[in-house]
Structure 1
Amino acid sequence: MNLESKKVTVEKSASYIFNALIDVKQYEKLMPENIAKFEVTAPTDFIFGLKGMPEIKLRLKEQTPNSLVKLGAASDKLPFSLTATIDTLTDESCAVQLFFEGEFNAMMAMMVKGPISNFIETLAGNMHKL
C-alpha cells in the first residue's frame, strides 16, 4: 500500500527541516492532537500511540542531507516506511511531502488506509511547527 500527503510549503530552509526531521524528539511536535503516548527510546527510535490505536515504534533508517529522511517500523511484523522528501524553494523555504509504503494484506490495507492517510496529512500539515 502506497500513500502520499499533499506537498506543503514551509517557511524554513531545507537544511533546517532536514535537521529537525533527523532529530526523533521533534516528531512529537508533528503528532495529531489525539496522541496518547510519545517516547524517545534511543537516538534514532521513538514510540508513539494514538488514542484507540496500537503503539508503533519507528526508527530512523535512511537520510540524504537536506532532501530525504526515511523512517521505518522497528518491528518486522508490520513492515512499512514513512519517507519525507524535502525540495528547496528558496534559501528560507522548502516543500515537504510524506510517502507511506507498507506491506499489508488486502483486509488490513482496507482497515488502515483512512487512518494512515489522515495521519500523514496531519504530520505534513504540522511541519510549520518545527
Structure 2
Amino acid sequence: MNLESQKVTVEKSAQYLFEALSQVSNYETLMPDTIAKFEVLDADSFIFGLKGMPEIKLRMKDKIPTSKVVLGAASDKLPFTLTAAIYSLSDNASEVQLFFEGEFNAMMAMMVKGPISKFIETLAANMHKL
C-alpha cells in the first residue's frame, strides 16, 4: 500500500527541515491533536499512540542530507516506511511531501488506509510548526 500527502510549502530552508526531521524528538510537534502518547526511546527511535489506535514504534532508517528522511516501523509484524521528501525552492523556502509504503494484506489495507492517509496529511500540514 502506497500513500502520499499533498506537497506543502514551508518557509524554511531544506537544510533546516532536514535537520529538524532528523531529530526524532521533533515529531511530537507534527503529531495530530488526537495524540495520546509520545515518547523518545533513543536518538533514532520513538513510540507514539493516537487515541483509539495501537502504539507504533518508529526508527530512523535512512537520511540523505537536505532531501530525504526515512522512518520505518521498528517491528517486522507490520513493515512500513514513512519518507519525508524535501525539495528546496529557495534559500528560505522548501516543499515537503510524505510517502507511506507498507506491506499489508487486503483486509488490513482496507482498514488502515483512511486513518493513515489522514495521519500523513496532518503531519505534512504541521510542517510549518518545526
Q: With structure 2 as the length reference, what TM-score do the two structures score? A: 1.00
Identity %: 74
Q: CA deviation at 1:99?
A: 0.1
Partner of 1:95: 95
Partner of 2:10: 10
Partner of 1:52: 52
Matches for 1:69-84 after TM superposition, within 5 Å: 69-84=69-84
Q: CA deviation at 1:101?
A: 0.2
Q: CA deviation at 1:74?
A: 0.3
Question: AA paired with 2:23?
Answer: D
Partner of 1:24: 24
How many correspondences in the alignment? 130
Q: CA deviation at 1:49?
A: 0.1
SS of the residue aligned with 2:3? strand
Supply the distance in 2 between the matched residues of 1:90 and 1:42 (Cα, whole angstroms): 33
Runs of at least 4 residues off by over 2 Å: none
Q: With structure 1 as the length reference, what TM-score do the two structures score? A: 1.00
Unaligned residue ranges in structure 1 (runs of 5+): none
Supply the distance in 2 between the matched residues of 1:10 and 1:77 (Cα, whole angstroms): 34
Question: AA paired with 1:98?
Answer: L
SS of the residue aligned with 1:126? helix
Q: CA deviation at 1:121?
A: 0.1
Q: Does structure 1 residue 104 correspond to structure 2 residue 104?
A: yes
Partner of 2:38: 38
Give the aligned CA root-mean-square deviation in angstroms.
Answer: 0.2
Unaligned residue ranges in structure 2 (runs of 5+): none
